[in-house]
Structure 1
Amino acid sequence: MNKHAKIIAKNAAVVAGATLISRILGFVRDIIVAFALGAGLFADAFFVAFRIPNLLRRLFGEGSLTMAFIPVYSRTIEEEGEEAAQAMARSAMIWLVGILVAITVLVEILARPLTMAIAPGFIDNAEQFQVTIDLVRICFPYVIFICGVALCMGILNSRGHFLAPALAPVALNVALIGSALFGYFMGYNVAYCMAYGVLIGGAAQWFLQQPFLKKAGFSWRGPWAWRNKGVARMGLLMLPTVFGAAVYQLNILLGTLLASFLPVGSVSYLYYADRLVQFPLGVFGIAVSTAALPSLAKLAARNELEEYDKALSVSLGLTLFIALPAAAGLIGLAEPVIALLFERGAFTSEAVAATSQALVAYSVGLPFIALSRPLVAGFYALEDTKTPVKIAVACLIANVGLGVWLMQSMAHVGLALAVSLSSLLNFVLLHLFLTRKRRTRLLPAVSAVKTAVLSILIGWGAYMTGAWTPWCLFLIPVWVVVYIGMAFLLRQNEAKLFADMIKARIRRGKTSKGA
């Protein structure tokens, strides 16, 4: 196993650990916000106001900006040196801040018509409408900070540092929790306090990155230029990635639209099921692709394409090693998990059954969604951002078509299954086109078969213990140990890589204690 594979696995572990902390803290945030803010007029106003900068974050900051920046930044270092790369990064930040400040000023001026466009139902309630306008104006500058954080993330990831960017969402969660509790206990309006908490969280995320940038040898002081060829190339690469992010958001919107034609409760069943699928996907699927992109970009920039192929193959194998048993476990324990988490109050046993059916249908596609992320990173590392977007558009059309067809006989479960089938299509097309581009097999076939067999056994075992509610859920760590142990017996490289990661962490821990 080459050194790049070990680097990717180590960095993926860092990202996954930090993301797990963020997700858990996000769950705590939801509980505290529900306690302090409730679900009334001000809550609705805050969530609508926060949705606007969040949408821009997803379109421009999260993924799109970083994925366009890292390959160009890595290539600039290789071809022109460190000073040119730093000048390119400074120039990119100047452009980014300039564009976002202009958009922010526009939003501050046009907050009223913008609120009318995104929440027309609020117009009839004058107080709610005005509060939403106020909160839009307070929240929106957050987008300047968070997109700046995305650029910092690109710089740090390119330099092999992943912890600070992965921990950035923790700062936002802490700020929102603190502002909600401050407003509640001090007797202030919680919605307004949380809106300012959004700004504080954005600034905190930005300042969290700065010591690590300095330690990595990067400085914001130095030459920059409005006309920088690296920034121009980054902009050209970024256009398709933004469009791809817009396609993803449109996919979600159209899925909700189709669900609205089904019986009452269908949207909720899909929402709760999707939240559970997103947990392993967000923690592990994103972690591997985030860790893989800088290594792949460096190898592509150096024209070390054989090493690129090996590194991408390991990323795919590791992703499948994690995602497939996670999917099997969710399928096997769908109903007990849903019942434990949600069956109380208005969430009846009928809702548990309907949601668990949706969870099974979504889980079928979880491995393919996870596998698609390293493949997309592979395309971006080669500075090909157009092919993944074309495939995403084709899969959007497939998702809608399958959804309309399957919902006729399977209701909300059909919509969830359509997402899984279109995710399978997305993976197949990405793998096919990248394999043709590289003229080599990327997914390790033997390892994939071993992983599939082990995952089926684990899923079957979990399903057989499903009747022991809630004790079956306490067996999940046991199934994890059994799975990894059997993988070792089958001599899977991914299991060995996982063990190496744990050993390296233990050694570092002992070294730090000795010091």
Structure 2
Amino acid sequence: MSKLKFVTLLFFVSTFVLKFSSMLRDVAITNYFGSTRITDAYTVSMVIPNAIVLFMLTGMKEAFLPSYYKYDAKGKGFSHLTNVVKGTTVIATLIALIGMMLSPFIVPLIYNDFQGEAKDVAIWTSVIYFASILLVGVNAVFEGYFDAQRKFSFSVFSQTIVVFCTIGGAIFFHAQLGIYSVPLGYLVGTLISFLIKLVYFKPTNFIDWKQKSDWSEIKAFYYIFVPVGLTIAVGQVNLLVNSIFSAQLGDGAATNLNLAFRLINIPQAVFGVTIATIIFPMLARAKSQDDKVLFKRGIEKGLSLMFLFLAPTLAGMLILMPEVVKVVYERGKFTAEATAATSHYAIFYVGSALFYSIQAVIAKGFYTLEKGHYMLRVGIVSIICNVILNAILVNTLGASGLALSFSLVALIYSAITFTTLYKLINGFSLSYVGMEYGKVFIATCAMFGLLMLMKGTVETYSPNEYVYLMVMIIIGAISYFIVLFLTGSRSMKELMNIKQLKREASEGR
């Protein structure tokens, strides 16, 4: 097996484990605390600090990789890593302290519908998550470093540790600490993740402790990083807008909307974000070598491979959504009524998974070219559109309108970023991408039609939802790949072409 194929497979598996563990976290929360006002308070109050977390975590990784390659080519990679770590430590500490101090004032102002215990939960959840940001910032730099070294799975592993600690907090301390066990578990997880990195590198090799901070270099990096980080946080700002609206829709609405979004987000993260991450080093090296052909090829590959896996997954979820939600969430204090509501909202979120996955691949092109400010501008437009659409659709469709708004904003966001990058790099092969999308669409439609025909029969002879889902997934996967093979999909052939993968791995692609 080629090195590239092994790394890709390992990253897919580790990312799947991460998203599966994230789902288990949601299952633990709903099992012990249900779809209640207290859970709503936890859910919406973590959006603000989580936006900062993603700003530091994902944004740092996106900006650090091309920056590290640039300095490493000059023999200054470790020195650059040291500067960024020291600068980030100072900045993350300030953000954490300011966030903790302002939470008791800002949270009640934004979510004024919460009173009593729900208000206290909202405030302290925000405080605890802000306290973790110092460690999140430092972890983010080293996870960016791991990605630069193509150790994708190690980066994902360190994030999985955080999720498992969050789950552990809920399982072992829910009786003593209530829902506070969840954010406290997250805080402990960020500490353990940091300590693992410290042990892995050994304290003496962690950074160059004696090196003086070069603030001119740090400022230059943050000049690139801030627009990238803010762009990453745009999605969280849109979720913040949604959370403000959802907090006014009654008990359980915010929680059910959040669960629906997270469930739909799994295929987006496993396929969209994973493939975008894998092609990032290819784009970064193409940029450093001024290889415009390779750069464009990387974008084409990313878009095609992403759709190859994402389209059938989302189509299958459209058919199987009620059963999926029931199997995943319905236990403990999470009722059948909550399952029905979550399933309904999830349908409206499907568009967001597709369009944000396209945007995830396109974003790598902007970040590689150090043009993150383009996406920031588009992100600001998307926030304005989200506020307008939320105000309109929530009055006509209720909570479903918030989910639909998110999908429509994703469409606008991806369309603008796609066309902007296309113009910026003087185009890439739309005919190649279009042909691949057409073949995937045909195979997906064939799979969808077959599953609709088989749905009643399989349901009749299945003893429970688990067997039903397993049989339907197997039928769908087999039919999809058979039709895809018959259409002559080049993306599928490339996945199966070991010689080509070996050649690309040897060429550093």
Report if TM-score (shorter chain) is over 0.5.
Answer: yes
**Corresponding position of 2:505:** none
Alignment match of 1:85 (pick from 72, 77, 87): 77
Q: Which residue of 2 aligns with 1:247?
A: 234
Code of the residue aligned with 1:313 in structure 2: it is E
Structure 1 residue 413, shift from structure 2 partner: 4.1
Alignment pair present for 1:75 and 2:63: no
SS at match of 1:303: coil
Residue 150 (str. 1) matches residue 140 (str. 2): yes
Does residue 168 (structure 1) correspond to residue 158 (structure 2)? The answer is: yes
Which shows bigger deviation, 476-485 or 396-405? 396-405
Shift in Å, 1:337: 3.2
State the distance in 1 between where 2:36 and 2:403 align.
Answer: 30
Is 1:111–1:136's contact at 8 Å kept on the other side of the alignment?
A: yes
Q: Could you give the per-residue CA deviations for residues 388-435 of structure 1, whole angstroms, max 9, x where no partner exists? A: 122222233334444445556555444433332332222222221111
**SS across alignment from 1:370:** helix
The residue that corresponds to 2:493 in the other structure is 496
Structure 1 segment 202-217 matched on structure 2, within 5 A: 202-210=190-198
Give the corresponding residue for 2:131. Answer: 141
Counterpart code for 1:141:
A
Paired residue type of 1:16 = F
Distance change (3 Å), C-alpha of 1:346 and 1:55:
closer
Aligned to 1:198: 186
Question: What is the aligned length?
Answer: 490
CA distance in 1, matches of 2:312, 2:329: 23
Tell me the distance in 2 between the aligned counterparts of 1:350 and 1:37: 13
SS at match of 1:238: helix
| Matching of residues 123-142 of structure 1 within 5 Å | 124=116, 140-142=130-132
Shift in Å, 1:13 = 3.5
Q: Which amino acid aligns with 1:17?
A: V
Give 5+ residue unaligned stretches, structure 2.
460-464, 503-509
Q: CA deviation at 1:117?
A: 4.9
Distance of 1:265 and 1:109 partners within structure 2: 28
Equivalence map 1:50-129=2 (5 Å): 53-58=49-54, 60-78=55-73, 80-81=74-75, 84-106=76-98, 112-113=104-105, 117=109, 124=116
Aligned to 1:508: none
CA distance in 1, matches of 2:10, 2:319: 29
Distance 1:349 1:135 in 2: 27
> Aligned equivalents of 1:101 and 1:248: distance in 2?
24
Match of 1:19 in 2: 15
C-alpha contact (below 8 Å) 1:277/1:362 kept by paired residues: yes
SS of 1:439 mapped into structure 2? coil
* CA distance in structure 2 between the aligned counterparts of 1:493 and 1:235, rounded to whole angstroms: 40
Please give the alpha-carbon distance, in whole angstroms, between the structure 2 residues aligned to 1:364 and 1:47: 22
- SS of 2:269's equivalent in the other structure is helix
Contact 1:146/1:205 (<8 A) preserved:
no
- Return the letter of the residue paired with 2:414: F
2:317 is the counterpart of 1:330: yes
- Residue 462 (structure 2) aligns with: none
Asked if the contact 1:87–1:225 (Cα under 8 Å) also holds between the matched residues in 2, the reply is no
Deviation string for 1:37-88 (max 9, x for gaps)? 7789997887788666434212x3232112122221112223x22xx12111
Residue type matched to 2:444 in 1? S
> Offset at 1:101?
2.4
* Higher mean C-alpha deviation, range 292-301 or range 381-390: 292-301
* Mapped partners of 2:16, 2:496: distance in 1: 20
After alignment, is 193-202 or 41-50 more displaced?
Answer: 41-50
Partner of 2:269 in structure 1?
A: 282
Indicate the larger mover: 299-308 or 202-211: 202-211
| Cα distance change of structure 1 residues 103 and 250 upon mapping to structure 2, 3 Å threshold | closer
| Native 8 Å contact 2:352 2:406 kept in 1 | yes
User: Are the aligned partners of 1:49 and 1:139 in contact in 2 as well (CA < 8 Å)?
Assistant: no
* CA shift digits 1:448-507 (9 cap, x unpaired): 1101111111122222333343454222033223322332333323223433579999xx
Where 2:455 maps in the other structure, the secondary structure is coil
Aligned to 1:465: 454
TM (normalized to structure 2)? 0.82
1:348-367 map, 5 Å:
348=336, 352=340, 355-367=342-354
Q: Which stretch shifts more, 92-101 or 394-403?
A: 394-403
Matches of 2:156 and 2:39 in 1, distance apart?
28
Q: SS in structure 2 opposite 1:243? A: helix
Q: Is 1:378–2:378 an aligned residue pair?
A: no
The alpha carbon displacement at 1:307 in A equals 0.8
SS in 2 for 1:466: helix
CA distance in 2, matches of 1:421, 1:137: 32
Deviation at 1:89, TM superposition (A): 1.3
* Distance change >3 Å, CA 152–CA 442, structure 1 → 2: farther
